[in-house]
Amino acid sequence: MCLVVGTCCRGFKENSTSDVIFSSATAKEVGQSLVQYFWEAFPAGSGPIDRTTYMFTYVDPQPGSPQLEELLEDYWDLMPKYQGVSFDDLEILRIIFGIFPTYRDSPLPAAFDRILQFGDASGIQSPVSFGGFGSLTRHLGRLTTGIYEALEGNFLDSKSLSMLNPYMPNLSSSWLFQRAMSAKKQSNVPPDFINELLFANFISMQKLGDPVLRPFLQVGIPVLLEWFGHFIMLGYYTFLSTFLDPTIRPLIESFPAKMRYEWKRGLEAWQYGAGLDYKLSPSEAHETAKRSDPSKEIFSTDSLK
């Protein structure tokens, strides 16, 4: 799960940049646990000098896990250093805290007839970013149509409803990254391991390619094997959605109602499970092309070190 604490404060003179993920310190002990803190900061919509800052960490829930209160105490100490400000110069508009649970087998299938989980309760959000609202908007079109068709056809048994929250290899494979970013007391890795891992990952993502083996050092062979299975499925779903979908889609309207409902959900599972629902805009495609060619743009890694 992910624990997050933070504030929205007024009084930031420098408020033109954002950090999606920032880490400036090695893993540290809080209570009986070892935690790696990450930060996020961005201008808030409420005013030009208002800024939201979050401190978050990934942990495995167990007795002795850090409490939000303990994290908030660290936040008051560390946030001024992170942002180069003093709380004496800031007006606290809002204090934010939360616990994001995540499930290894997300999204959660419907367990009962006529009952469907929706939003965060369905576990459809990324176990790394926990941006559940963004995730919900991404799936809204698919879910709206699917729920409408389930109601219209009276396909409200748990099996039919579960097809609205299908297995998605892209979601399952991102689980590994959360595991790799959780500090573990018993593991024999140095305290700067997670920062080094992130550094290597971001460099590799920039080059769009080189496999990064280091996450595997920390998570263990069983998790690695499970992740590898999801990774294979990701390729399989990409193949199915790219090549089989166009062959089947034109025939679907001629199928009987239940079969049509099931095939539509199946095609959606391939598409969303492979991440092919997301279309890059021309400007985003241009940015990606630039990033894949390091000679055109230098990726700053200072913030990750």
Ligand X SMILES: Cc1cc2nc3c(=O)[nH]c(=O)nc-3n(C[C@H](O)[C@H](O)[C@H](O)COP(=O)(O)OP(=O)(O)OC[C@H]3O[C@@H](n4cnc5c(N)ncnc54)[C@H](O)[C@@H]3O)c2cc1C
Q: Which residue has the tokens 């992740």?
A: 227
Give 67 or 242: the residue with its C-beta nearer to ligand X.
67
Give 3 or 240: the residue with its C-beta nearer to ligand X.
3
Give the Å distances, CA to CA, from 155 to 117, 165, 242, 271.
15, 14, 28, 22
Site for ligand X in 37-96 (CB under 6 A): 96
Rounded to the nearest whole angstrom, what is the least distance from the CB of residue 283 to ligand X in the complex?
21
Give 35 or 219: the residue with its C-beta nearer to ligand X.
35
Give 5 or 274: the residue with its C-beta nearer to ligand X.
5
Give 118 or 239: the residue with its C-beta nearer to ligand X.
118
Rounded to the nearest whole angstrom, what is the least distance from the CB of residue 216 to ligand X in the complex?
29
Binding mask 104-143 for ligand X (x = CB under 6 A): ---------------xxx---x-----xxxx---------
Applying CB under 6 A, the site for ligand X has a residue count of 11
Instruction: Determine, following the binding rule CB under 6 A, whether residue 220 of this chain makes contact with ligand X.
Output: no
**Is 280 exposed, middle or buried (CB count within 10 Å of its CB: 0-12, 13-18, 19+)?**
exposed
Give 121 or 251: the residue with its C-beta nearer to ligand X.
121
Rounded to the nearest whole angstrom, what is the least distance from the CB of residue 165 to ligand X in the complex?
13
Instruction: Determine, following the binding rule CB under 6 A, whether residue 229 of this chain makes contact with ligand X.
Output: no
Instruction: Determine, following the binding rule CB under 6 A, whether residue 246 of this chain makes contact with ligand X.
Output: no
Rounded to the nearest whole angstrom, what is the least distance from the CB of residue 11 to ligand X in the complex?
20
Q: Which of 31, 48, 64, 98 binds ligand X (CB under 6 A)?
A: 98
Give 124 or 267: the residue with its C-beta nearer to ligand X.
124
Q: Which of 2, 3, 4, 44 binds ligand X (CB under 6 A)?
A: 4
Instruction: Determine, following the binding rule CB under 6 A, whether residue 19 of this chain makes contact with ligand X.
Output: no
Q: How far is CA 1 from the centre of its chain?
A: 11
Give 119 or 166: the residue with its C-beta nearer to ligand X.
119
Binding site for ligand X (CB under 6 A): 4, 96, 98, 119-121, 125, 131-134
